[in-house]
Each structure stands twice: as C-alpha cells, then as structure tokens.
Amino acid sequence: MIWSIAWRNVWRNKLRSLVIMIAVTIGLSGGIIYYAFAKGLMEQRIEAAISNEISNIQIHNPDYLLNEELKFIIKDPENIIHKINKVEGVKAVSSRIKAMGMASTAETGTGVMLNGIDAANEKQVTKISEQLTDGKYLEEKGRIPIVIGQKLAKKLNTKLRSKIVITAANTEGVITYGAFKVVGIYDTENDMFDELNVFVRKNDLARMLGANTSDVNEIAVTLDTHEQTNHVLTILNDEFSKNISQKEILIRPWNKIVPSLNAMIEMMDFLSYIFMVIILIALAFGIVNTMLMVVMERIKELGMLKAVGMNNKRLFRMIMLETIFLSIIGGLFGLFISYVTIQYYGHYGMSLAAFQEGYNALGFSSIVYLEAETSFYIFTTVLVIITAILASIYPAQKALKLNPATAIRENN
Amino acid sequence: MGVIKISNLHKIYDESKIPVKAVNGIDLTIKQGEFTAIVGPSGSGKTTFLNMVGGLDVPSKGKIEIDGINIGNLPPRQLIDYRLNNIGFVFQAYNLIPVLTAQENVAFIMQLQGKGKNERNKIARELLETVGIGDKIDRRPGDLSGGQQQRVSVARALASKPKFILADEPTANLDSKSTNELLDLMLKMNKELDTTFIFSTHDQRVMDKARRIITIDDGIITSDVQKN
C-alpha cells in the first residue's frame, strides 16, 4: 500500500507534479538529443575521415612520416599488397605516391598534397570518386588529368577542363613542373581536406617527379567494417614482423594516424556525459524543492503516520518512491521524446544548412544523422533513478525528524 | 489487560531558557475498560499528558507503565512498534490519509502490523460497518462529512486491536448530532470490546458520557471523579 500511497500522492497536486515532470522531460530529452547529435556528428566525421581521407589502416616507410620526402618509399610494395589482400576482412588496398607541391593558375597559387593513385584501386578504398560535383574521376587514358576539391577550385578560381600547373621537388630535390587538366571536382564537406588534396594518376606523378612508377610512399587498406581495424592490424603486424623489419614499414590504424580525431571523439563523449550529469544535478534541485514543499504541506499527515506507528524506514521509502515516480514519469517521457527525435533525425538527418560553411571549415558535415546507443538510454534511466533517490534524501530526512506530537497539531 | 500506571509524571519545556512546567507531578492509574475524560482549561497540560501516555512525547521525570512496561525506557524503534500494536489514536482533525479510501485508511494500520491483504480488508469492512459507514467504504475522506471521517478515524484506531484508545478532543470539530453519534459509538465499542478510551476534552457532552472525569489544571490533577 506504500507504493499505492506514493503513487496517489504524486497526483495530489497535479499542476506542481506536472511542472517538475515537464522539467525532467525537457532536461532529459535535451541532454540525450545533445548526446545523439554530438555522437552522430563525430561518427560521421570518423566515417568521412576513413572513407575519404585515411582509410582504416595505412602503411608507410617510418622515415617518410618524419620527413615527407618522395625518396622514403616502401620496399617491395607488390609483395606487401599481395599479403594484405589475403587477410580476411580486407576489402581493398591502394598504393599511393605522395608529394607536397604547389598548384598554380594564371591568377594565383597554393600549396597542395599531390596524391598519385591507381584510380581503379583507389575507388575501392576511398569514396572521392563518389563525391564529384563536376566532371569525372581519373581514367587510365586521356591527357594528364587531375581531380581537385571544390574549395581549391574556388581558391584558384579555376574550373573543369582548365589547366593547373603543378610545381614540386623531384627525387633529386630539383623543382619540376607539370601541366594538369582538371577533369573532376569533388566535395567531401571537409574544406581543409578539399583545399589541400589533389588526385592525379600515379604514373603521371612518378614521371613528373622522376620516380619509379612502381614506387610507393603509402599503402591504404580499407576493411569490410571499421570494427575489424584492431583485429586486422594485429594480423598484419604479426605477418610482417616475421619478414620485414619495423624500420622498413610502420602499420598504423586510423586513430593513430589522426590522434586528434580520436581525442576529439573521447572528449565529445566525456562532455556529453558531463552535460547529462549537470542537467540531472539541476533537475535534482528542482525535485528537492518540490519534495520539500510536499513534506512541508503534509506535516500533519506525516506526524499522524509516525504517531500511529509507521516507522522511519517505511516513511523514508514512501517519500523516496514518490520522488522516484515523479522523476521516472518525466524521465520516461524524456526518453520517449528523445528516442522518437533521434530515430527521425537518424533516418532523415538534421540539416544545419545555415551553418554549413562553419561546419565544413571544421571538417564536419552540415547534415547530421543523430545516433545514440541503447546503453546510453539505460545509463540515463539509471542516472534518473539515482538522482531521484539522492533528491529524496533531504526531504525525507526532514520528514523523519518531525516530532509526531507537534506535527499533528500543525495548522496546515 | 491494559492497566496504565502513571507515577510522578513531569514534563518541563525549556522554552527560551524559561522552563515551563506543562505537567507537574501526576500520579494516576487507569484500568482496563475505563471510559475516561481528561478535562481542564486550555494550557492546563491535557494534551501534553495524553502525548506522554501515547508515547509521542518523553516525560522529563516520572514513569508511565502499561501492563508493567515502562514505555519511557523503550528505544525509539520499539516505541513506534509499541504504539502501533497497543495504542489507538483519534485526532481532533481526523488526520486520515486523503488519497486512500475509508477502507484503505483502516486497513493501512493493519498492513503496518504485517497482516495479509484479505484479512485486513475483511476486518476493515467489518469495522466500518460497526461504526455505521459500511456503505461508504470506497469513499475518500474528502467525500465524507466530518462526523463520518471521525468514524473512520475510530475504526482505524480500533483496527490494530489496541489496549487503549487516546482521543485528543475528538468532538471539537463536530456538530451536536455527530458528537452524540460518535460518543454513543465509542461507548458501544468500549462496552462490546472492553477497549479503554481516554479523551482530552472541553466538551460538556463528552464529560456527560464519561464514567470517570479527571480534571487537570496547571499540570496537576485537581479532581478525579468516578461516576456510578
């Protein structure tokens, strides 16, 4: 009957209970939706980084990472690629030759990263070919083509079929030039990447820089799923440590290649949890206030309960249950509203077109697909219950301290 | 049994360091089945006396023995259990739980005692029929008149099968008709169940029905009249 009394007590002052329930609903749904937004934003950023920029695993000559010079190539790349392709979970492998250079038009010039790729393999590894806003991807035939980012095109004030002059140091350190024809313009929604990276055929770049067409600076590996990254990494490390010295190749997963991204994700996750806890602390004060009013209003009744023989344990439980009901109802509505919102925007995406420029400048997409794991909903529900229990302690203590003899004579 | 033996009872309130002697040395014995009214002017110490007898307040000096147990020596937890199982309370303002029906209000006490649902509902129905509101068992206090609420309150006090019932000005909020009906009901319970009733009251109608009238003034008994 204590459960029943607590439940009915919740509805004694409907307006007051509804106000605190609405506060819990809004606070909780706000917190969860914020989490889902941050999670979606970061997951998309990871997905974009893996799909467009770095892939799951990369292999380099360790010296290349210290000094990005053309001469630091991977030895026997064909054999390495052959072995990687045999590993289960590997979707595709692409070898690249890379060099820093300068892209110039008649009007202006800017520094770029020259990615010499094998178009057929690269299509399997990165999704740049699917993100062309104009023109087409690199083909085997045709005159020295180049694919550039939309941001770079704007910066260089160039367009499709225009020529760009690429200047870079060759293998001997001598500056060389090459004229490339813009055949495709891509847009990954990451302005920094789009402005920096240009894609040319590996053979064209090797010829221009006086390198061997079989030279490779970077091998990129894409897996069937991102979750396989660590597993495949272990297999590759085991495989290559037998025959190849660690001084010759270094195998790194995406989160080691861009540690800042990983740190950002962890920070975002942590901030979301902190944000949630802050919301609940604020709500706890509201709940404490409401329950204090409840206790003050019912001094006479609580005094009577103590007088007739209700012990402190039961009295505490009654007030705690009332607090939990009050919080859980608001909490469940909050969970429901946030679940529906997350499902909707998880499917259709939340458009932030008004802030597109800013988001893209930071490498984020302006359409965010919200997502939250089941474990976060459970974590939040548990937090709400804990908050309610903690919030009930002070009002319940007030009730426990009542002297029944004086409480039953209170005029309220 | 149910003999209450009070010896040298004192209660001194230390209000703003000026001691107030609310009860100033009371010796009294109340036997099983008595129907006793404690009377006296406002501030005479009636309620303080009743609170101490009911274990709601602690004496400054003296002792209250019920069937040989000095309730002043009981630790707080045991005192709560003692009240639950031995003392019934009827309050001036009824003090029912507003969210419970009449039947639930009566059954609630038995739940605190650990009785099963069927048993307590059955006893609650019977008690409410006995006090004359068997047709209103599903009504909440807000839907009952003052007299009816006080009947529920009496049924609740009887529900725990107490040794005695303490009633603090039980008729103060009732009209004449309701007062007479309530007193007749309590007298009936007193006779049929041999339950001891102790009232504090100003009400002449209660005094008329009481078989023993104890007058308290300035914290001491000034008269103790047993009617025939």
Give the pLDDT confidence score for residue A142 in this predicted structure. 72
- Over chain B (228 residues), the average pLDDT of each successive run of 10 is 85 80 90 91 88 90 90 88 90 88 94 91 91 90 91 90 88 83 86 88 87 92 87
Give the pLDDT confidence score for residue B178 in this predicted structure. 82
CB A113 within 8 A of CB A233: no
Residue A342 confidence class, pLDDT cut points 50, 70, 90: very high
Could you state, in order of their start, the residue ranges of all structural domains in chain A?
A: 2-49+261-410, 62-248
The yes-or-no verdict on residue A218 having pLDDT over 70 is yes
Q: Is B74 on the interface with A (CB under 8 A)?
A: no
B211: nearest Cα among B174, B193, B186: B186
User: What is the value of ipTM here, to two decimals?
Assistant: 0.87
Beta carbons of A308 and B107 less than 8 Å apart: no
* Spatial separation of the C-alpha atoms in residues A77 and A83, rounded to whole Å: 10
Give the pLDDT confidence score for residue A357 in this predicted structure. 78
The yes-or-no verdict on residue A146 having pLDDT over 80 is yes
* Spatial separation of the C-alpha atoms in residues B42 and B218, rounded to whole Å: 10
Q: Which of B52, B87, B112 should we substitute to test contact with A (largest number of A Cβ atoms within 10 Å)?
A: B112
Can you list the alpha helix ranges (DSSP code H) found in A132-201? 150-156, 191-196
- Beta carbons within 10 angstroms of residue A381's beta carbon: 16
- Tell the residue number behind the tokens 């106000």, with chain if given: A19
- Residues A142-160: what's their mean pLDDT? 91
CA distance A315 to chain B (A): 11
* Spatial separation of the C-alpha atoms in residues B49 and A279, rounded to whole Å: 51
Query: What predicted TM-score, i.e. pTM, was given to this entire model?
Result: 0.76
- Tell the residue number behind the tokens 């894409």, with chain if given: A222
The yes-or-no verdict on residue A255 having pLDDT over 90 is no
- Beta carbons within 10 angstroms of residue B167's beta carbon: 26
Residue A113 confidence class, pLDDT cut points 50, 70, 90: very high
- Beta carbons within 10 angstroms of residue A297's beta carbon: 14
CA distance A309 to chain B (A): 4
Element (H or E) spanning A219, and its range? strand A218-223
Q: Is B218 on the interface with A (CB under 8 A)?
A: no
Beta carbons of A1 and B108 less than 8 Å apart: yes
Beta carbons of B93 and A300 less than 8 Å apart: yes
User: CB-based contacts of B2: which residues, under 8 Å, 6+ apart?
Assistant: B31, B32, B33, B66, B67, B163, B164, B196
Give the pLDDT confidence score for residue A70 in this predicted structure. 84
CA closest to B56 among chain A residues? A405
CB contacts, 8 Å: B100 with chain A: 1, 4-5, 8
- Beta carbons within 10 angstroms of residue B39's beta carbon: 24
- Residue A386, classed as helix, strand or coil, is helix
A228: phi then psi, degrees, rounded to nearest 5 = -80, -5
The yes-or-no verdict on residue A230 having pLDDT over 70 is yes
Give the pLDDT confidence score for residue A369 in this predicted structure. 93
Pairing of strands B212-217, B35-39: parallel
* Spatial separation of the C-alpha atoms in residues B219 and B214, rounded to whole Å: 12
Q: How many CA atoms lie within 13 A of A319 on its CB side?
A: 31
DSSP classification of residue B169: S
Length reported for chain A:
412
The yes-or-no verdict on residue A91 having pLDDT over 80 is yes
| Closest residue to A5, CB basis, from B51, B56, B100 | B100
Give the pLDDT confidence score for residue B2 in this predicted structure. 63
A40: nearest Cα among A349, A409, A390: A349
* Spatial separation of the C-alpha atoms in residues B195 and B163, rounded to whole Å: 6
* Spatial separation of the C-alpha atoms in residues A199 and A146, rounded to whole Å: 6
- Residue B94, classed as helix, strand or coil, is coil
| Closest residue to A311, CB basis, from B56, B77, B100 | B77
* Spatial separation of the C-alpha atoms in residues A283 and B95, rounded to whole Å: 32
CB A190 within 8 A of CB A46: no
CB contacts, 8 Å: B85 with chain A: 309
Give the pLDDT confidence score for residue A110 in this predicted structure. 94
CA closest to A314 among chain B residues? B112
Can you read off the two tokens belonging to residue A60? 């380099």
User: CB-based contacts of B175: which residues, under 8 Å, 6+ apart?
Assistant: B146, B147
Amino acid, single-letter form, for residue B88: G
* Mean of per-residue pLDDT scores for chain A: 89
CA distance B155 to chain A (A): 13
Give the pLDDT confidence score for residue A381 in this predicted structure. 86
| Closest residue to B99, CB basis, from A9, A304, A404 | A9
Give the pLDDT confidence score for residue B177 in this predicted structure. 83
The yes-or-no verdict on residue A206 having pLDDT over 70 is yes
CB B171 within 8 A of CB B140: no
The yes-or-no verdict on residue A78 having pLDDT over 70 is yes
Q: What is the pLDDT of residues A276-328, one digit of tens each?
A: 889 889 989 999 999 999 999 999 999 999 998 899 899 999 999 999 998 89
